[in-house]
C-alpha cells in the first residue's frame, strides 16, 4: 500500500500507539487506535514499525463499506515480553478509504511507563458496607491523569463506571445507586503518562448483605 509521490494523501483525525500494563496481573499489551478524517470507511489499513516491519494489515470486503474507527489490542503475555515485538520509535499508518482517498500518518511509541498508584481503600478481599464507599489511592507525581474503572461483577449484565480524573485527585465517592448488598466488585485505578502509556492496579472486594 504505497502512494505515488504525486498522489494527494490525507491525514488521520486520530492516531495512537501505546503501552497498557496491568501491574496487578503482571501483563502488558500494545493498543493501536486510528480514525481517518473522513465519513468514508477504510477498505485497507496497515501499520509498520520504525524498522519497516508490518505488524498490522486489515482489508475490508466491499459489501460492508469499510471500517472507520479502529481499535486493536495485542495479546497480553506475562511481564513486558510484548515490547520486544513493538520497538520504540515512530510507527507509520496508511489507509485507503472506500472512495479511494488515501491516508498517512505517524505516531511515536515509547516504552516508558508511569509509576503505578496504590489503592488504599478498599483493600483486596475486603467486605465493605453497602450504603457508602469512597475509593482512595496514592498520589503519583508527574502523570497526566488518573483513570478509574468500577465494575459490579455480580450484575447480569455487568455494571461498570469509567471516569477520567485530574492528577491531583486521589479519591472518588461511588454513587449509592451502584452499591448493592452482597455483590462482588472490582475497582481499577490507572496512571496515564504524558506519552499516553497506562499502568493499571486492581482490587476485588464485596459489599455486606
Q: Which domains does the chain have, with CATH numbers?
A: 12-109 (2.60.40), 119-207 (2.60.40.10)
Whether the Cβ atoms of residue 147 and residue 167 lie closer than 8 Å to each other: no
DSSP H stretches of helix in 54-192: none
The total of other beta-carbon atoms located within 10 Å of residue 32's CB is 22
Q: Indicate if the pLDDT at residue 61 is higher than 90.
A: no
The values of phi and psi at residue 150, to 5°, are -125, 125
> Over 70: is that where the pLDDT of 7 sits?
no
Query: Structure pTM?
Result: 0.91
42 has which bridge partners?
A: 67, 97
What is the model's pLDDT at position 78?
Answer: 94
pLDDT at 204 over 90: yes
Does residue 104 register a pLDDT over 80?
yes
Amino acid at each position: 500500500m504505497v502512494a505515488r509521490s504525486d498522489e494527494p494523501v490525507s491525514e488521520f483525525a486520530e492516531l495512537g500507539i501505546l503501552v497498557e500494563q496491568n501491574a496487578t496481573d503482571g501483563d502488558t499489551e500494545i493498543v493501536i487506535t486510528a480514525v481517518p478524517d473522513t465519513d468514508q470507511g477504510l477498505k485497507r489499513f496497515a501499520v509498520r514499525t520504525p524498522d519497516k516491519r508490518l505488524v498490522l494489515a486489515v482489508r475490508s470486503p466491499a459489501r460492508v463499506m469499510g471500517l472507520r474507527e479502529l481499535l486493536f489490542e495485542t495479546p497480553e503475555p506475562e511481564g513486558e515480553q510484548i515490547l520486544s515485538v513493538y520497538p520504540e520509535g515512530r510507527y507509520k499508518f496508511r489507509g485507503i478509504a472506500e472512495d479511494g482517498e488515501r491516508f498517512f500518518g505517524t505516531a511515536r511509541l515509547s516504552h516508558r511507563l508511569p509509576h503505578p498508584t496504590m489503592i488504599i481503600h478498599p483493600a483486596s478481599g475486603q467486605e465493605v458496607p453497602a450504603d457508602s464507599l469512597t475509593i482512595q489511592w496514592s498520589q503519583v507525581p508527574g502523570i497526566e491523569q488518573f483513570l478509574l474503572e468500577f465494575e459490579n461483577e455480580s450484575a447480569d449484565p455487568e455494571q461498570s463506571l469509567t471516569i477520567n480524573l485530574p492528577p491531583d485527585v486521589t479519591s472518588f465517592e461511588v454513587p449509592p445507586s451502584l452499591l448493592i448488598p452482597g455483590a462482588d466488585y472490582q475497582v481499577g485505578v490507572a496512571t496515564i503518562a504524558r506519552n499516553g502509556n497506562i499502568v493499571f492496579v486492581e482490587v476485588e472486594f464485596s459489599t455486606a448483605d
